[in-house]
Amino acid sequence: MHPYKVALVASTALLASTSLSSAAVTFQTQIFSAHTDWGTLPPTINFAQTKTLGFAGFNSGLGTLNSISIKIVDTVSGNVNLSNTGSTTTNVTASLLNTLKYIYPTIAQKVITLKSTSFSDPTLGGGKTTGFHPVTGKTTATHIVNTSLGTFESAWHITLGDLGQVVVGSGNGNGSATFTDVGAVSIVAQYSYTPKGPPPPPGVPEPASMTLLGAGLAGLGVLRRRRKSA
């Protein structure tokens, strides 16, 4: 290959390797917890959202917003007290059932149903109770938004509601339970964007790039000497 062409190829490859722009992310977080009654009572599947969590929105001065990841972590924790209302020994089991409903811009209502760990007494005597025992549960939902992004460049919010109940299992239908529970939600909004301004400074060229560039420059030197001697 002609020395001048070698130098041109080397220079082009080096420029291409430093012209790529990098993405960046920023986060906003909201956390809330309370007894699981953040909805219309009685606790039915038709309960409405009553709690609002606000977000400041993406700062468009940082760059161009590409997508948003909304991660919702729902937890339930509480205590259950099992009872055997019959006269003979039986196996009684209970767990908490937590229902979280939420709506954020660009989507319809979502529902997360979370069942906690369970507590069981396989030999609960007739007319006896176990006393309160702790149970917990946790689940996560993640949503990626890449349309109508302008909605998230100013203040926006999520409305949500949370209700809980106890689920009882019994060998002979005589089991019952009382319970207390707290529902908690953590919402993390991650904004992925392309930063404004010039691209980041080029990194140190790889050894192979340096060798190729050096060969091209050396070829130019040889070409110049030949022209002078001619």
pLDDT at 20 over 60: no
Residue with tokens 């560039």: 213
Query: Which of 219, 155, 201 is CA-nearest to residue 20?
Result: 201
**Predicted pLDDT of residue 213:** 52
What rounded mean pLDDT belongs to the chain? Answer: 82
Structure letter (DSSP) for residue 88: S
**Predicted pLDDT of residue 96:** 94
| DSSP count for the chain of H helices, then E strands | 2, 8
pLDDT at 75 over 50: yes
pLDDT at 218 over 70: no
Overall average pLDDT of the 194-217 stretch: 63
Better-predicted residue by pLDDT, 140 or 19: 140
Whole-angstrom Cα distance, residue 51 to residue 173?
37
Listed range (46-55, 106-115, 164-173) with the worst mean pLDDT: 164-173
Burial 111-150 (b: 16+ CB within 10 A, else e): ebebebebbebeebeeebbbebbebebeeeeeeebeeebe
Q: Is the dihedral of CA 214, 219, 220, 225 positive or negative?
A: positive
pLDDT at 86 over 90: no
Tens-digit pLDDT profile for residues 111-159: 999 999 999 999 999 999 999 999 999 999 999 999 999 999 999 999 9
Delimit the domains of the chain by residue range. 22-196
pTM for this prediction:
0.73
Q: How confident is the model at residue 46 (pLDDT cuts 50, 70, 90)?
A: confident
